[in-house]
Structure 1
Amino acid sequence: MPTLFRFVSLLPLGLLHVMGAAMGWLVFWASPTYRRRFLDNAAAAGYAFAQVRAAVGHAGRMVAELPRLWLGDLPACRIENAECVERAWAAGKGIVFLTPHIGCFELSVQAAASRWGPEHGPITILYRPARQRWLAEVMRTARNRPGVQAVPTALNGVRQMIKALRRGEAVGLLPDQVPPEGQGQWAPFFGREAYTMTLAARLAQQTGAAVVLARCERLPWGRGYVLYLEDLSMPLSDSLDAAVRQINQAMEHTIRQCPGQYLWGYARYKQPRVEQSAEVAA
């Protein structure tokens, strides 16, 4: 499997996206559970299937492009509105990059690290090691790409993120990810209650770091990507409850910019798993 993974990483991006789109549709029609969740989540956000059908293929593209993103050369990625990041760096308190499961979120951190890492240090991200030994080894190598520092989803990893922000560096999170029990709270997301991480809000509140929203969209026919960046519409609230709701609203806003590339099949409204707590500690 590792050999196949490395071989796939050498294929042209356009071919990977064609293969991935076919795989996405195959899974959509083969799995009634996945298809029902996809349609239900999209409907909750107010979208008919015709409006988000492209997301079926993009879910497969996300999987097919991973070997290239982890082991190959960095694909072409244009950055839009880099000025908001430059303003955040100028404030000197670090940056919390937030992106939902949209487009090529794996490339978001790599592109930002390539652009700002040499001057401002690595971007720290959390990751959960894979259970398969070969995949865990690939991920350990791939997630620590130049300018990216991957830390475990545990208390020690959270502490490293806090230290990075206090050094004036950046961290990256997917705040629409369902956290383990005890590490989140229930908050509205597209009109339905969803268990939502508090980590993103706590990191910004405790360190004074700037919050920057990101979405990395795929261009057609493997022509590369565009990373769109923007500030929160208003400063993050000092209240944790309000800040968590505010971040969910920001994720909704980001997703509505490109609903055809969001992972509508993600189990966003599931019950949280039971796991050792990784609360933010000073």
Structure 2
Amino acid sequence: MSKSPSLNNLFYSGGQVVLWIVQHIPLRTLRVLGRIGGLVTYRVAGARRRVALENLDLAYGDELTQAEKTAIAKSSFINLFTTILEFCYSPAIKGSMDNLVTVTNSEVFLNAYAEGKGVILLVPHMGNWEVCGRWHGEQGVVQHAVVRRQKQEWMNRIVTSIRASNLIQEIDKKNGLRKVVAALRRGEMVSILVDQHARKEAVEVLFFGQPAMTHASVALLALKTGCRVLVCSGFRYPDGSFGGVFSDPIETTETGCRETDLVENTQRYVTAMEHYVRQHPQDWMWMHRRWKGTKAAPVEWEDEED
């Protein structure tokens, strides 16, 4: 239930005060606070801590010791808390993102974008997936992010304004298909986070060897528009600074069998993301219940007008 306009304005004003405070704290200090906040959250958020450890058991089994899994879970909480603080801080960033993020394989992404066919960037919840998007805009890339709107309007206003400062245009996940297709046909970039459990329009693929329901939207869009699909994975260096790496373009398989194509292509995307999660497991969001079961609403495609 949405709050009254006056109450929304009050919360928005309070949020602006918090942002002002955060943006006047040195980034290095914020990362220290992020570490403290992440460890405290790990301690007090028992349900999410259990989910993280259960997920690590599913993903790694006996490959890792319990101590190693616990360390990864703690680091995951630290990364998430730090990412939130950095996101709030990001409008205050001065100068080029090249001073803050080290990007690998960038020429592959820029070449794919230059083809003009449109690019879907698969972005796992790793490193700082929000702030690193600013780097794309600085390269002259017109970018959109498919997002889920917040329940509270005051929160939407704050989050949207921060993303705009990072050169990111939002597309509401709900009923946003037309805008996504239009952006791709204009040769622009659309980033989509597809590393979470999907309840609707999903297919079953394997993630860390376990059945995982995953949105088939990217495969649908690639088949329909002929766009390029790449993974952009963030991670952190030991000092907390950002790193980012682009995969090579992921080939789209088209056999003529719709169901086969959706599963095969979605599996390729998930396998590519798993590769990067395995490289930097401490930076992925393990507290999300990724493996909830294998039932989902059927995939449907609503034809869009050209």
1:141 aligns with 2:161: yes
Instruction: Check conservation: 1:98, 1:211, Cα contact below 8 A.
Output: yes
Q: Could you tell me which runs of 5 or more consecutive residues in structure 2 were left unpaired when the two chains were aligned.
A: 1-13, 255-260
1:84-129 C-alpha deviation (Å, 9 max, x unpaired): 1132124321111112111111123221122232xxxx21111222
1:67 is aligned to: 88
2:200 is aligned to: 182
Q: CA deviation at 1:144?
A: 2.4
Q: 3-state DSSP class of the match of 1:106?
A: coil
Give distance in 2, aligned partners of 1:130 and 1:33: 22
2:289 is aligned to: 267
2:42 is aligned to: 28
1:255 aligns with 2:271: no
Give distance in 2, aligned partners of 1:140 and 1:86: 25
Which is higher, the Rg of structure 1 or of structure 2?
2
2:140 is aligned to: 116
Q: CA deviation at 1:130?
A: 1.7
Q: CA deviation at 1:272?
A: 9.7
Q: 3-state DSSP class of the match of 2:245?
A: strand
2:192 is aligned to: 173
Which stretch has the larger CA shift, 126-135 or 96-105?
126-135
Instruction: Check conservation: 1:79, 1:227, Cα contact below 8 A.
Output: yes
Q: 3-state DSSP class of the match of 1:116?
A: coil
Q: Which amino acid aligns with 1:151?
A: I
Q: 2:181 aligns with which of 162, 180, 204?
A: 162
1:225 aligns with 2:245: no
Q: CA deviation at 1:142?
A: 1.7
Q: CA deviation at 1:64?
A: 2.2
Q: CA deviation at 1:278?
A: 8.8
CA RMSD of aligned residues (A): 2.5
TM-score under structure 1 normalisation? 0.87
- Moved segments of 4+, more than 6 Å: 271-275
**Aligned CA distance change for structure 1 residues 268 and 7 (closer, same or farther; 3 Å):** same
**Aligned CA distance change for structure 1 residues 251 and 91 (closer, same or farther; 3 Å):** same
Q: CA deviation at 1:280?
A: 5.6
Q: 1:197 aligns with which of 198, 215, 218?
A: 215
Give distance in 2, aligned partners of 1:36 and 1:100: 21
Instruction: Check conservation: 1:154, 1:278, Cα contact below 8 A.
Output: no
TM-score under structure 2 normalisation? 0.80
Q: Which amino acid aligns with 1:258?
A: H
1:235 is aligned to: 251
Q: CA deviation at 1:139?
A: 1.4
Q: CA deviation at 1:168?
A: 0.9
Instruction: Check conservation: 1:217, 1:225, Cα contact below 8 A.
Output: yes
Q: Which amino acid aligns with 1:101?
A: H
Give distance in 1, aligned partners of 2:150 and 2:195: 20
